[in-house]
Amino acid sequence: MKIVVTLDVNGEPRQALADGRDTLLQLVRDQLGLTGTKEGCSNGNCGACTVLLDGEPVCACLVLAAEAQGAHVTTIEGVAVGNALHPVQAALIKFGGTQCGFCTPGVVLSAVALLDRVAVPSDADIRYAIAGNICRCTGYGKIVEAIQAVATSRQEASR
């Protein structure tokens, strides 16, 4: 039995047909064609499938598509404004915080959620916020630096 899931994705109303077993990850990638969200481990350990569900980072592989009925979902495709990258994206490029890129969409969304929530995150806040995003390339140092740089420049801009 298919169910019709109506939700808001990246600010646009969307509708998709989902199976009871389908996850939000499958809905986003296979039904909506938003393949920036990656499938890694499929059990919540790697964070490659991180999306924002009503503003909070979650693993899309651990949310049933049916649970997203009426929800607001932000995927990596919804982070940049037109051609202008989100500051977190720009900083990851600048600081070399991305290499193979597989974890990057998830890292960006975890960082965006952190910066929305915490004005001046500490190094520990940043590391905790991305603890659920496994990266096998960078060793995390450059990712942390990039997020820190965004927080610092935002603070300076608000002075």
Partner 1 sequence: MQELHYSRPTTVADAVVALARPDARVLAGGTDLIVQVRENRRQVAHVIDLKRIPELNAITRQADGGWRIGAAASVGRLGRDAAFAAEHHALLDSARLIGSLQIQNRASLGGNVCNAAPSADAVPLLICLGARGVVAGPGGRRTLPIVEIATGPGRSSLAAAEILVAIVVPAQTGRWAAKYLRFTPRREMDIAIAGVGVWLQLDQQSAITGAAITLASVAPTPLVAAAAQTLLVGERLSPKLIAAAAQSAADEARPISDTRGSADYRRQLVAVLTRRALEACAGELGIHGT
Ligand X SMILES: Cc1cc2nc3c(=O)[nH]c(=O)nc-3n(C[C@H](O)[C@H](O)[C@H](O)COP(=O)(O)OP(=O)(O)OC[C@H]3O[C@@H](n4cnc5c(N)ncnc54)[C@H](O)[C@@H]3O)c2cc1C
Name the residues that contact ligand X, by CB under 6 A: 43-45
Which one of 16, 58, 112, 149 is in contact with partner 1 (CB under 8 A)? 58
Tokens 């009871």, residue?
20
Q: Is 26 exposed, middle or buried (0-12, 13-18, 19+ CB in 10 A)?
A: buried
> Which among 62-70, 81-89, 90-98, 145-153 is the span making contact with partner 1, rule CB under 8 A?
62-70
CB hemisphere CA count around 142 (13 angstroms): 17
The torsion angles phi and psi of 57, rounded to 5 degrees, stand at -65, 130
SS3 category, 122: coil
Binding status of residue 57 toward partner 1 by CB under 8 A: yes
Which one of 9, 34, 64, 112 is in contact with partner 1 (CB under 8 A)? 64
Binding status of residue 19 toward partner 1 by CB under 8 A: yes
Give 77's contacts (C-beta < 8 A, 6+ positions apart): 10, 34, 36
Binding status of residue 152 toward partner 1 by CB under 8 A: no
Which one of 20, 101, 139, 141 is in contact with partner 1 (CB under 8 A)? 20
Residues of this chain that interact with partner 1 (CB under 8 A) are 1, 3, 19-21, 23, 42-45, 47, 50, 53, 56-59, 61-64, 66-67, 69, 110, 113, 128-129, 131-133
